[in-house]
């Protein structure tokens, strides 16, 4: 992974595994989004810890967590960044790629997107502002 040359100076990162418990997210090919997001979140959190960051999780097992509780956790801990992991689906089976949705486009989002594209060699679907998403407009960071 390249060195981060943006302006993110935070040390405490909240990793949010999307969905969970009674909310499976999208399902297909025998997979449930909630299982993939949890495995991904735990792996990312472990890597971040190894790089010296402190990590807060909104869930570490298969439980349902409301959107407001996810925001309460990260806001109350005063996290420097909130990263929510999701795996989308589409009717078009050739659709693929990585995208980052953020409240305001920022250097950290572009840094993560570029590194994911470089490492995974997948389609770059871009960094997009989505002020309508609850977890983005209800978190302080």
Residue 36 DSSP code: H
Contact of 133 with 101, CB cutoff 8 Å: yes
Applying CB under 5 A, which of residues 12, 63, 86, 133 lies at the interface with Zn ion? 86
The site string for Zn ion over 119-138 (x = CB under 5 A, - otherwise) reads --------------------
Q: What residues contact residue 15 under an 8 Å CB cut-off, 6+ apart?
A: 41, 44, 45, 48, 55, 56, 57, 58, 83, 85
Residue 60 DSSP code: S
Kindly indicate which of the ranges 9-17, 53-61, 85-93, 133-141 contains the residues binding Zn ion, using the contact rule CB under 5 A: 85-93
Which two three-digit tokens encode residue 85? 């992991």
Kindly indicate which of the ranges 54-62, 70-78, 81-89, 121-129 contains the residues binding Zn ion, using the contact rule CB under 5 A: 81-89
CB of 90 to Zn ion, least distance (A): 13
CB of 39 to Zn ion, least distance (A): 14
State which of positions 20-39 bind Zn ion (CB under 5 A).
25
Applying CB under 5 A, which of residues 15, 17, 18, 55 lies at the interface with Zn ion? 18
Q: What is the rounded end-to-end Cα distance, in angstroms, of the chain?
A: 24
Helix or strand run (H / E) with residue 68: helix 67-76
**Interacting residues with Zn ion (CB under 5 A):** 18, 25, 86
């Amino acid at each position: 992974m390249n060195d981060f040359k943006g302006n993110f100076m935070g040390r405490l990162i909240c990793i949010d595994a999307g969905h969970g418990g009674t909310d499976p997210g999208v399902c297909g090919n025998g997979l449930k989004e909630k299982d993939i997001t949890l495995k991904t979140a735990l792996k990312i959190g472990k890597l971040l810890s190894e790089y010296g960051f402190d990590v807060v999780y909104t869930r570490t097992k298969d439980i349902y967590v409301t959107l407001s509780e996810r925001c309460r956790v990260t806001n109350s801990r005063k996290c420097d960044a909130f990263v929510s992991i999701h795996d989308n689906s589409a009717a078009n089976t050739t659709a693929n790629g990585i995208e980052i949705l953020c409240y305001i486009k920022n250097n950290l989002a572009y840094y993560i997107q570029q590194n994911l594209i470089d490492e995974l060699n997948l389609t770059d679907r871009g960094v997009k502002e989505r002020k309508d998403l609850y977890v983005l407009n209800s978190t302080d960071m």
